[in-house]
A = this chain, B = another copy of it.
Amino acid sequence: MSSTARGARARARTEITAAIKEEARRQLAVEGAAKLSLRAVARELGMASSALYRYFPSRDDLLTALIIDAYDSLGAAAEAAHDAAAGAGPVRRWTAVCEGVRGWALARPHEYALIYGSPVPGYTAPRSTVPPASRVALVLIGILRDAHRDHGLAGPPLPADLRPEAVRMAADFAPDLPPAAAVAMVAAWAQLFGLVGFELFGQFNRVVEDRETFFRHAAGQLARTVGLVPPQQDGADRGEADRGRASQATGTGGDGSSSGA
């Protein structure tokens, strides 16, 4: 009841609010957050710049609204990518989510920069951004939970001095996961956005060319570090690579992630 038809006035307000955000997002995509101008938005919408302050008390508040929307959009993309791979194994689902995040970021670089780039100087994100910001992490945690329930997780040991923190982390947001897995999960979460951010912000420019393939591989490795084991037996892993110097022969055997299946 509260959302629809509480009078023409209220509906007009939500419509105008949406139009402002839409136009702002359009300018964001073109010019970037730094050059987003309230006056330009108002101009494009055919209203006085002062009128816009009836809807957003300041430029930063507009930005905050866009940030929340971006988090939600990214979260939805991650969830959609996960659902599209629902039937598959945990590694496949993991990489699907990672690729979903990457795809969203590549399609909306400025919105990605808005939420994972440098935060505005004195600005600290209000609490309202927390839940939408958690959605990607929740999807990843869900994959780990399922995998842990079904097969267990293969994680590295936990150093003694990290154990209390790990226990706290698991209790806080991943009660179904062993502490070591919670730690590995948070690290992988940050590392995922390191990969995406580096690609997006040009750090890979003369370094990585075939970024799609590179990312897929890296995401698969990330799955390993959180304890998800690829369908085929591991075991072959460790002794491999290149003992000694003249290695070069390394690789050859696909690790399974190369097969599309």
Residues of A within 8 A of B (CB): 31-35, 110, 113-114, 116-122, 124-125, 130, 133, 148-149, 151-166, 168-169, 172-173, 178-181, 183-184, 186-187, 189-195, 197-199, 201-204, 206-210, 213-214, 217-218, 221, 224-225, 227, 229, 234-255, 257-258
Contact = CB atoms under 8 A, between A and B. Distances in A.
Contacts of A179: 240, 250-251
B160 A241 contact: no
B186 A221 contact: no
Q: Which of A160, A192, A214 has the most CB of B within 10 A?
A: A160
Contacts of A234: 248-249
Contacts of A257: 159
A118 B242 contact: no
A166 B203 CA distance: 17
A168 B243 CA distance: 18
Contacts of A163: 237, 240, 251
23 contacts: A31-B121, A32-B118, A34-B120, A35-B121, A116-B197, A152-B242, A153-B242, A156-B224, A157-B241, A158-B240, A158-B251, A159-B255, A160-B252, A163-B240, A168-B209, A178-B250, A187-B195, A190-B197, A190-B203, A193-B197, A193-B203, A194-B197, A227-B242
Contacts of A203: 116, 133, 190, 193
A251 B208 contact: no
Contacts of A242: 148, 152-155, 178, 180-181, 227
Given A179-B251, A191-B191, A245-B149, A113 B124 contact: no
Contacts of A243: 152, 178
Nearest to A210: B165
A244 B148 contact: yes
Given A178-B243, A210-B165, A201 B119 contact: yes
Given A180-B240, A234-B249, A201 B116 contact: yes
A71 to B, nearest CB: 11
Contacts of A235: 249
A244 B148 CA distance: 7
Contact of A207 (B122, B173, B181): B173
